Structure 1
Amino acid sequence: MRLSLRQRVVRAVTLATALALPLAFAPPASAQSGPVADIFAKLLEKTVTGANVKKHLDALQSIADANGGNRAAGSPGYDASVDYVAGKLRKAGYRVKTTDVQFPKSWEELSPPVLEQVAPTPTKYATPADFVTVISSGSGDVTAEVQAVDPTLPPTPSPSSTAGCEASDWAGFVPGRIALIQRGTCPYVQKADNAKAAGAAAVIFFNEGQPGRTDAYAFDIGEWRYGFPVVFSSFSVGSALANSPGTRVRVRTDTKVEVATTRNVIAETRGGDRDNVVMVGAHLDSMPEGPGINDNGSGTAAVLEVALRLKHLPVRNKVRFGFWAAEELGLLGSEQYVAELSPAERDRIRLYLNFDMVASPNYAYKLYDGDNSDNVGFPAGPAGSAQIEQRLAKYFDRRGLGHVGTDFDGRSDYGPFIANGIPAGGIFTGAEGTKTEAEAKLFGGQAGAPYDSCYHVACDTITNINKRALDVNSDAIAVATATYAFDLSSIPRRAATAAATTGTAVPLRGTSVS
């Protein structure tokens, strides 16, 4: 009698487990790590199917349909999504917990802001023509000397200003002054985080001065906990202040924020070395505008299915799955999770794999550029990130599928991990960006059109996914997860780990990005 695929897989798992189980719990340096990892990677790849992943997407769509059409953080739809994912994982035998995540439920400006030069030449600036309050800014009334932080004056067409992004930018900053920071390169929230750490009393961002980047405009920085005013000015105002050292400025904002709580879902294998944690994550929340089936039901469903199938296999390294809350509000779930870990706990996380939008309808297979091989845009990830990119590339190469790089640009939940020196990698199939001619030749689809025309809008439903991309990427996630569950020999140990072993403290600070 011919065996079904399921029967063949079950037999293969049984045989491989019998042969490899003693090795799975051998010391990590075992020479058998590679072969064992390859065996289980292929087994997990076979058991993870696009059809089963889509069942989770159907469930998330049904949850949204029953709860106002979305699964946004703080909504009944999100709470039901948490219950669905946590319930599946508990039934599979994982250790499951939820962690609280604070987020701003509402923010309002109670009265008009003030920005004025006090000395040497008293000057009042107008809102919104000259400046605006940054959404999520705290309240405060600060009069102090303004200090420009590494501005690019006059502006250069390319690259963008890196003002405030690097630790060296803040070497001479005087605590108590107002930080004047030019737009460019890294997220606003990273610049403001650095300003707070340097002792700034307030922050004035200003535009770059390039064509189309001169005026003040409103945006949400996604961080409400600074406790000081944050405003954004035009290039003309900012550059004038930057060119006048010693100027005293008054900044006043009058705002109110209501804070609410939502939850991450964290699940980990019962077995595996607790000092070597492989973390795999996807954000669980949608935008309020729709059910978020591609963004990021696709990543959630794929990671969930991999977890449910991984339960049948022994693991050498502990595998931890994170389903993040409030990513759409500024990576709040992952940022708060990482920030609340002790340095030793962060050190145990050997790598982080991130899967955010893996089934875009006009997809491209984009792998996070761990080594910055294109030498443009954002820099490489922490040591080990290049190896993760190579592991994923090996899978696509084996299947004869093309792939391209994508920057660690701070737009997804890898951000807090790489900010703390944890190597990261993952797959992304594109959002609102436009597919190039070269990508259309490589992957098919329509050049000159968005990867996902329903990005962050109501039509991101169950009809807004590419089933082939979902199936291929789910298999790639399975292979990467199983590989690292058994073999971390390609991932270098971080300096923090070595220092912790010898009792030397290595400070780490969580950083939010948006």
Structure 2
Amino acid sequence: MRVDSRTLPLVPLLLGPVGALQLPLLGGSSSASQAPIAADKPLISSPLLQEQVKAENLMQRARQLYKIAELGEGEYNHPTRVIGSKGHLGTLDYIYSTLTNLGDYYTVSNQSFPAVTGNVFESRLVLGHTVPESATAMSLTPPTKHKEPVYGQLVAVANLGCDASDYPSDLDGAIAFISRGQCPFGTKSELAGKAGAVAAVIYNNEKGDMSGTLGTPSPDHVATFGLSDTDAAPFLEQLHKGEKVDGIAYVDAIVESISTTNIIAQTTGGDPDNCVMLGGHSDSVGEGPGINDDGSGSLTLLELATLLTEFRVNNCVRFAWWAAEEEGLLGSDYYVSVLTAAENKKIRLFMDYDMLASPNFAYQVYNATNALNPVGSEELRDLYVEFYEAHDLNYTFIPFDGRSDYDAFIRNGIPGGGIATGAEGVKTVTEQGMFGGVAGEWYDPCYHQLCDTVANLNLTAWEWNTKLVAHSIATYAKSFDGFPKRVEETSISSFAEEPKYHGPFLRQ
């Protein structure tokens, strides 16, 4: 093992046997074997790397990860790997110790960064004499004052609530009723708080339920709920008629700042100025153990990082396990934000692997085109398509809309893409014919829930997708011939517009 001298001070607590916390030894002797990379290892081969991928090995890792998630039970009363929990610290140790036991094949580093985590313990919204079924406390919402119910008149905010002038003078002590649209939810909550509101309700101006995140905390944020268009409609009508609507809001929640850690492993062999990079996230939501989201992606990376050590590479391969994805892509955002221009240019492409084993799966390819993304994104998309077609597997394109850790890369000029198997989206009848499963149900019925356990994995989908990840690594680790060179700009304004999603939650 080589430990990067730039390793930052915060290092995760490490696990020996599951349940026993210990501190890592950095910079000293290591129990890892120190065998150098043999020059006579075969050059990376996609067929040979794929051949070693076995579903039973992936499942064995998943079982270990679930045991680690159980370390979170003391704090959360159920298994979880949310950042700051013992379950996440154990996850970091499992990844870190696995990599360091691979000898000198990789340089392994920890990158600590500030993060924000939150947990809603209880919430309730009453409007008039109704408890709207769709009312959901937003991620990273603060609690109501003193974590007690607050009472106030429901007051409609003008326009889309993106300017201070939209908030009426009679909002002091009231509950702001704000339309979704144009600006982030966090901006609306902050403006409502500055105008004196005791809580805010942001209703959907499109069809369907709505949940989201307030994003970066502000001292002016107030307890904030999301509401569907259907549930909002009768109250909008009453307010437009000049009728009064009483409201009660209650949120018991915490929002706190912590430090957490990305883990990066780069091959010591291969051209360091031409890196193929791939990542998955190491954390889960607080509500469950996250064995599919993103245990499946992060374990795929760990398995392939292990198998790759049997080969030589021409181009460096850089693996990343991001922390705080579930809080809004915080780990990957931080990583890209501190890259120098020169280091940015060394990353020829970034591949995102988040949720590869959904039980009601579809083989999904991010529709990353060169017209809307850094040049090279489309070539990566086509590599995935060609793999599925070569194996007579159906596939479908999904939006490249900022929902996972590729976002910071493409917004800073780095080509990107990835595959997935679906989250809370509903499988169509057409997709049922293409992939099997059940039309009308979520691709992952346990998405962000307690039941995202080892029983929530489709091993057929996971094995095929791990073979595809292996193919993507091997292709570019061997050669970038035919792949577009990086453009001169490291930050391209046309890719920098804020998306509706930033991670798993809507942000506006």
TM exceeds 0.5? yes
How far off is 1:101 after superposition? 2.8
State whether structure 2 residue 502 is matched by structure 1 residue 513.
Answer: yes
Q: Where do 5+ consecutive residues of structure 2 fail to align?
A: 1-38, 74-78, 119-140, 159-163, 191-199, 237-252, 504-508
Query: Corresponding residue for 1:64?
Result: 69
For the 8 Å contact 1:420–1:510, the answer to whether it is kept is no
Partner amino acid for 2:257? V
Q: 1:292 & 1:285 partners in 2: Cα distance? A: 8
Q: 2:165 & 2:287 partners in 1: Cα distance? A: 46
Query: Corresponding residue for 1:269?
Result: 267
How far off is 1:76 after superposition? 0.4
How far off is 1:415 after superposition? 1.1
Partner amino acid for 2:52? T
How far off is 1:103 after superposition? 1.9
For the 8 Å contact 1:41–1:479, the answer to whether it is kept is yes
Query: Corresponding residue for 1:103?
Result: 115
Q: 2:174 & 2:295 partners in 1: Cα distance? A: 38
TM-score by length of 1: 0.67
CA deviation digits over 1:26-66, x for unaligned, max 9? xxxxxxxxxxxxx6111111122222122211110111124
Query: Corresponding residue for 2:395?
Result: 403
SS at match of 2:410: helix
> Closer, same or farther in 2 for the Cα pair 1:258/1:270, shift >3 Å?
same
Query: Corresponding residue for 2:56?
Result: 51
Query: Corresponding residue for 2:214?
Result: 221
Query: Corresponding residue for 2:102?
Result: 92
Query: Corresponding residue for 1:356?
Result: 354
Q: Which piece of structure 1 moves more, 311-320 or 229-238?
A: 229-238
SS at match of 2:142: strand
Q: 1:115 & 1:336 partners in 2: Cα distance? A: 37
Query: Corresponding residue for 1:124?
Result: 170
Partner amino acid for 2:110? T
Q: 2:144 & 2:429 partners in 1: Cα distance? A: 49
For the 8 Å contact 1:223–1:330, the answer to whether it is kept is no
Partner amino acid for 1:302? T
Q: 1:435 & 1:121 partners in 2: Cα distance? A: 40
> Closer, same or farther in 2 for the Cα pair 1:90/1:126, shift >3 Å?
same
Q: Which piece of structure 1 moves more, 110-119 or 428-437?
A: 110-119
> Closer, same or farther in 2 for the Cα pair 1:232/1:20, shift >3 Å?
same
How far off is 1:488 after superposition? 1.6
SS at match of 2:485: coil
Q: 1:309 & 1:340 partners in 2: Cα distance? A: 30
Partner amino acid for 1:364? A
Q: Aligned Cα RMSD in Å?
A: 3.9
Query: Corresponding residue for 1:283?
Result: 281
Matched pairs, number? 393
> Closer, same or farther in 2 for the Cα pair 1:398/1:116, shift >3 Å?
closer
SS at match of 1:363: coil
For the 8 Å contact 1:110–1:256, the answer to whether it is kept is no
Q: 1:463 & 1:233 partners in 2: Cα distance? A: 31
Query: Corresponding residue for 2:84?
Result: 74
Partner amino acid for 2:473? T
Partner amino acid for 2:271? D
Query: Corresponding residue for 1:368?
Result: 366
Mapping for residues 30-429 of structure 1, pairs under 5 Å? 40-68=45-73, 69-93=79-103, 94-106=106-118, 108-109=142-143, 123-125=169-171, 129-131=175-177, 183=181, 209-210=205-206, 219-224=212-217, 258-371=256-369, 380-429=372-421
Percent identity over paired residues: 37
For the 8 Å contact 1:335–1:510, the answer to whether it is kept is no
Q: 2:314 & 2:354 partners in 1: Cα distance? A: 26
Q: 1:449 & 1:120 partners in 2: Cα distance? A: 40
How far off is 1:105 after superposition? 3.8
TM-score by length of 2: 0.68
Partner amino acid for 2:312? P
Q: 1:510 & 1:279 partners in 2: Cα distance? A: 23
How far off is 1:208 after superposition? 6.6
> Closer, same or farther in 2 for the Cα pair 1:460/1:271, shift >3 Å?
same
Query: Relative contact order (C-alpha < 8 Å, sep 6+): which is higher?
Result: 1
Partner amino acid for 2:429? E
Mapping for residues 2-13 of structure 1, pairs under 5 Å? none
Partner amino acid for 1:513? H
For the 8 Å contact 2:157–2:177, the answer to whether it is kept is no
Q: 2:376 & 2:457 partners in 1: Cα distance? A: 31
For the 8 Å contact 2:42–2:310, the answer to whether it is kept is no
Q: 1:395 & 1:482 partners in 2: Cα distance? A: 13
Q: Which piece of structure 1 moves more, 331-340 or 75-84?
A: 331-340
> Closer, same or farther in 2 for the Cα pair 1:332/1:122, shift >3 Å?
closer
CA deviation digits over 1:111-148, x for unaligned, max 9? 5899999989973237765347xxxxxxxxxxxxxxxx
Q: 1:402 & 1:120 partners in 2: Cα distance? A: 49
> Closer, same or farther in 2 for the Cα pair 1:362/1:109, shift >3 Å?
closer
Q: 2:270 & 2:42 partners in 1: Cα distance? A: 14
Query: Corresponding residue for 2:16?
Result: none
SS at match of 2:261: strand
> Closer, same or farther in 2 for the Cα pair 1:123/1:367, shift >3 Å?
same
CA deviation digits over 1:399-446, x for unaligned, max 9? 111111111121111111111121111110011111111111111111
Q: 2:393 & 2:84 partners in 1: Cα distance? A: 39
